[in-house]
Structure 1
Amino acid sequence: MSSPEDIYDSLMSMNEAGAIDEVYSLVFERTDPQNYTVMCTMLAVLLAAFEPLTTDDLNDVLKNSKIRGSAEGLVQNLGSVLTTDQTTNLIQFRHPTFVEYLRRCTTTQAASSRYKLDLNLGNAHGQAAYWCFKRLKSQTEGLKFNICQIETSFCLNRQIPDLDTRVSKYIPGRLRYASSHWLFHAAGADDNWWPTLKNELQYVIQVPYAFQWMEILSVTGGVPRAIAGLRAITRHTRLKGQTREWLEEIRRFMTTFSVPIQDSAPHIYVSALPFTPTKSIQAY
């Protein structure tokens, strides 16, 4: 039996996509068929993620979706194509060709049975979005007012000497990920997830949670991505009525006041909010 390192070396010596696909397919032929479905689920989540996830993150996504699986077991069984950073515990793909192979295995692109995996990215985005909402709503590690415990509203973010330290201390990595990417995961989720995600979304975009989310965007430089995400999610026809109106209103608010929001987290409340029209939901 070849070691993960031997298989990896063989893969790196190949240049043609077809030959590489055959070897990757062989890797998965050696896996236990009983683990196939869960393995595909975990790989799809890793592929859908906008940043590398830690093993704890992936385990939490699975737990949140009530799926029995182990991130550590996945990396151990697929050591020729996956690895874990010993310092950060982030799960990493060993080579870009494996990512390309996985993308060819998605249910929207796989055209034949030559691919041994069946990855559902729409479902993976739904799982990731649901996880993001749970992180945002967490009573202990979720959104909260003045999350970085900034003592004064007279200083801009760049004038707070220990802001990076505060961000690391008070905003867990999972919350930073959720704040940055929930919009895009929700936009990419399939229709089966949408009834569940709509209920979660309606909670997060209400006052005061929308402003608490903006605080995190302010101190992490995430405002431009959030505005792009709001545009992406409101393009979906399945988003209708009051929910669409609220998201559009949040997008207009963030676009209009993007400079003060990016300059200072407290200015969301002291500069931007007072100029919001009184009929706006953001004014309540």
Structure 2
Amino acid sequence: MKKSITFKNDQLNMAGDLYLPVGFDESNNYPAIVTVHPGGGVKEQTAGLYAQNLANQGFVALAFDASHQGESEGEPRLLEDPAARVEDVRAAVDYLTTLPFVDEERIGALGICAGGGYSVAATQTERRIKAVATVSAVDIGAMFRGEDPAATLPTLEAVAKQRTAEAMGKESMFLNWAPHSLEEINENTSVLMREAYDYYRTSRAQHPHSTNQFLFKSLDKIMAFQATTHISTYLTQPLLLIVGTEADTRSYSEQFYALSNGPKELFWVEGATHIDMYDIPEYVGQAVSKLTTFFGENL
């Protein structure tokens, strides 16, 4: 059973889908899980799929649209601000604690792709999250900074100029998360971007609220973000990292695992790529089975 809900994030109204277990009884106390979508995603895509699967396993699960995105409020639209997205996770936990059928001592978080990095970052200082899991985790700040920090300086200079232009009344500039059309894909396009096009821009998972765009001036905020800042000291809750053996983003899960000093497990899904883990039944089934055991033991 799925219910469309809204919840408060300070002054913003956040839009979410609350998935309830089969045989739901409001008089019971259930463990609950917040599912956090990838950059550019919305609640109706992979975050909702995982939420639905977890509800089928007996959990209350909440998938929601990030602030400034999807059906959630927030201006300017299509801002990708990691600090805001971490706060979104906290606000989602706030909402779950108000539900009489949720056991506030048994709340977990699951993040996919950039949502994985945001979930891990939130859990480091959000003690109400008792266990955290990721699927195809990405540290979005590290990804956008790349391997050569000096190479980001021209981008930051361009962001600064764009902010000044917008302050003077010029129009906003936007970037695409993935190739917007098939014509943009060539022999130099990475496997990840090819897969992202197939997932987000075709009937496979395309959704009208997922526009494939974000504000160019998000980049200074993204590049300042690091998902692992306090992972070695503050992340004492159990951590599960699920990643495909063929994912070109596997290094982020490996880094999270290496840096964490708490209870942790790195779970490999043989043959899966990064975006295979979003919706391919064979691979999602393996992930959900592992997540069910993990959250069942730790919530």
Structure with larger RCO (C-alpha < 8 A, sep 6+): 2
Q: Which structure shows the higher helix fraction?
A: 1
Q: TM-score, normalised by structure 2?
A: 0.28
Q: TM-score, normalised by structure 1?
A: 0.29
